[in-house]
Amino acid sequence: MNLANRITVARVLLMPVVIFFMLTPVHFFRIVTGGTVLFGNQLLATILFVIATISDGIDGYIARNYNQITNFGKFLDPLADKVLVNAVLIALTAQGSVAAWVVIVIVSREFAVTGLRLIAVDDGVVIAAGSLGKWKTRVQMVALVALLLNNFPFSLIHLPFATIAIYLAVVLTILSGVDYFVKNWKVISVSQ
């Protein structure tokens, strides 16, 4: 197994650890600032989530620049990203930090685009990530970090940054999903 794939596997293995610290009330320290309370487990979950997010860029860079692109990596890398984001969203919903409809929209779009890609692959077509999809991912990651940190430090100035970011992520999720289907409609129409 090459280095890029090892990093991807490490990201997959980080996911249950992130969720454990999100959902387990092990408050080994707490920070209270400006009405925002951050527990040690939240901070640790956020740090691990950021490491996992950064590792996505690192494994992609290594795979492309050091000729380490493999079928295993092509399969696991996007799956690892989706599982991590969706797991964190579901855990945030369980905590009451994100409305269930937000998660339903985001997860549904991921299933729909993945289904479209599977149909395309069956026809020998590869659907690359579009610019809207890349922006959607970036905004989702920023929103999730803000939500994991209870909107800190923006809560100090009473700016609902986390809420704005997650709603922007929903808008970009919908727009990028529509974009994938409009640009690749021929894949579906040919398969009928």
Q: What is the pLDDT along the chain (192 residues), one digit of tens a residue?
A: 899 999 999 999 999 999 999 998 777 777 777 677 778 888 999 999 999 999 989 999 999 999 998 888 888 888 888 899 999 999 999 999 999 999 999 999 999 998 888 888 777 777 777 889 889 999 999 999 999 999 988 988 889 999 999 999 999 999 999 999 998 888 777 555
Q: Say what the pLDDT of residue 190 is.
A: 58
Q: Which CATH superfamily is domain 3-191 in?
A: CDP-alcohol phosphotransferase transmembrane (TM) domain (1.20.120.1760)
Which tokens in the block code for residue 58?
């690192």
Count of C-beta atoms within a 10 Å radius of residue 98 = 22
Place of tokens 């970011």: 165
The shares of helix, strand and coil residues in the chain, as percent rounded to the nearest 5, are 75, 5, 20
Decide: 100 and 164 in contact? Cβ < 8 Å: no
Q: State the Cα–Cα distance between residues 125 and 106, nearest whole angstrom.
A: 24
pTM for the model stands at: 0.88
Count of C-beta atoms within a 10 Å radius of residue 148 = 27
The residue ranges of every structural domain in the chain are: 3-191
Question: Vertex 75, ends 79 and 67: CA angle to 5°?
Answer: 120
What does the radius of gyration of the chain's CA atoms come to, in whole angstroms?
Answer: 18
